[in-house]
Structure 1
């Protein structure tokens, strides 16, 4: 297992993160990862038994970083959606890394240690607990809440320039898209103690 104090392991993970983001799992090459990490293929395989195992480690690490940066708060899903938007607009390479995994890691029976499934289960548990506490509408299935909020939140991350006029300021354009995302999620899943809009009075 790689530790954060192991510089060779850190270089392998950093190189693999870039490689998987650019080429996906099938297109990634251990030779390139080893070269970028200034080590050998044999050393990479000494840390990770396969390319898939290396991707799973990288994906789990990235998912943990995303969770830390975006902080799911079931009582404020509009705010959570805004943070997801901000994160992936700022880090498009990490969105690609996650998308490659969803495209290429296909199985009728997901593995129990699959990082995506583990992340989803943790968030579903948080949402269900909020429903039980009366902080979130119990009429929704938690998995639907999670998928709908994530899809709305990431709707502009993969296409930040669509509709952007050549004379328009990009920062202002993205701010407007973010506001639309937050408003859309607020309509579906209002934040606890949120202030009603004039139309809701």
Structure 2
């Protein structure tokens, strides 16, 4: 772990503060002065590391996307269970879901670079779905983009409604387990898991 005064530690504090700020306020509502204060640094230091608020958001969202991908691991042959893992991740980390959604709401897609991490991740998943169709693991009548978008929407369907879950921890756990089962069942009906011999 780098010393608290090192450039790496300062950068890490800025990213952690920015993650919390973007989750709460979005990109437009986020304030660099609040990020600097939470990171125990100056506004000028934040801009020394990151050229703009949007550049800072893009790095935070890229890191969040990497964490989601690593935690959930899409298997095109078992999309129902993948949807369940996404549901679990978003239920455990609603702030990370919000960070990603703000980008979809606020960033101009026409100003997004071709090598944008979100686009690159989507392209990779689409290619894996196409290959699964060629291999006979997924119904070929579906367009892969429809599979991916429907799957993501179903998996994230409860991420914005977690306030409906009971406050009692045991009841909440049971409630979310039932919601997970509903997500998995819905995806299974659309995109059944392949039964490999």
- Taking structure 1 as the reference length, the TM-score comes to 0.87
More helix by share: 2
Correspondence for 1:57 = 59
CA shift at 1:193, angstroms?
A: 1.0
Which of 183, 186, 191 is matched with 1:189 structurally?
Answer: 191
Which of 8, 16, 19 is matched with 2:18 structurally?
Answer: 16
2:72–2:85 Cα contact (<8 Å) kept: yes
Q: Distance in 1 between matches of 2:111 and 2:9?
A: 35
Correspondence for 2:179 = 177
Correspondence for 1:154 = 156
Q: CA RMSD in A?
A: 2.0
Q: Secondary structure at the match of 1:191?
A: coil
| Aligned counterparts, 1:1-201, within 5 A | 6-108=8-110, 110-162=112-164, 169-193=171-195
Change (3 A) 1:10 1:164: closer
Structure 1 unaligned regions, length at least 5: 195-201
CA shift at 1:163, angstroms?
A: 8.0
Q: Secondary structure at the match of 1:33?
A: helix
Q: Which moved more, 1:147-156 or 1:131-140?
A: 131-140
User: Deviations for 1:8-52, whole angstroms, at most 9, x for unmatched residues?
Assistant: 111111111011111100011111111111111222111111110
Correspondence for 1:198 = none
Structure 2 unaligned regions, length at least 5: 1-6
Q: Distance in 2 between matches of 1:108 and 1:181?
A: 32
Change (3 A) 1:165 1:109: closer
2:87–2:158 Cα contact (<8 Å) kept: yes
